[in-house]
Amino acid sequence: MKLHYLLLDVFTSTPLKGNQLAVVTKADGLLDGEMQAIAREFNLSETVFLLRPHGERNTAAVRIFTPHEELPFAGHPTIGAAVVLGLTKKLTAVRIEEKIGLVTALFDRLGKNVGEARFGLPRLPERLAAMTNLPAIAEALGIAVEDIGCGVFQPAVFSAGVTFHLVPVRNAKVLKAISVNRAMWNTVFSHDHHSAYVFTQTPEEKDNDLAARMFGMNLGEDPGTGSAAAALIGLLAEQVTAEPGQAEFVLRQGHEMGRPCRITLQFRKDKGQLAHGGIGGHAVVVGEGELDLGD
């Protein structure tokens, strides 16, 4: 069995930047265990498998795997899948069936191998818990207690399909200085995948409004995490007025790893409640190949 795949860099239009992604383009007939084994073979943060959709009006179904498990939703695989489908099928909008639900993405071709995709969140973020033990959070991140918090924002647990501990810090200097304390990590960040999305506002940076780093999910640090940015929309929406109209932010991630990512966030509120959230970004195809799995 031979399987065609593409390699992409997501949340960037520059090859060898952004967050890496493998897309297996025709995965129908693969068993769950085979998909998991292939994701482990690529050993990237996520691998996407494109399948025939169940609904006639839909473009494709996708399965998303880390090297360790399947995810119901993830942002950079959704952007990457949308760009691959837009480029190969010459579409300006794609409807993708994910485990979490149907995702509709708008697509713009920016070059032969480059595109931009924007999609509405299939599930709006919700607050799961507050995080009040600031000394423990500080120790887990290797920073001072007084460095936790940024403006009106305080730590909390949110999920838009995947759970993240959202931790605001004082500024970009603190964000860069984080030193993970693995001995106490899972105890402090105890929900689900033990993932922490640490962020700050960046008024001194002209190209973005926010900066973030993501640690966890058995991956160490991740350069660009759309599902965490989706969860962050929930915390932003609690404090930012978006009526009338839509609030928009640009977030940078991955700079500390040498894999800079640019993620756009949008949300709209109706009568004080979050009514819409969206994520966007670029992706560039940097390679392709064929998996030879034998007879």
Catalogue the E-assigned strands of 11-144.
19-24, 47-51, 60-65, 70-71, 93-98, 101-109, 114-120, 126-130
Instruction: Assess whether 116 carries a catalytic annotation.
Output: no
Residues 274, 125: Cα–Cα separation, whole Å:
9
Strand 221-222 and strand 2-10: the pairing is: unpaired
**Annotated catalytic residue: which of 41, 46, 97, 288?**
46
292: tokens are 């030879």
The CA distance from 259 to 40, in Å, is: 21
Contact 261, 223 (CB under 8 A): yes
Q: What is the dihedral of CA 198, 202, 208, 209, to 10 degrees?
A: 80
**Which positions are catalytic?**
46
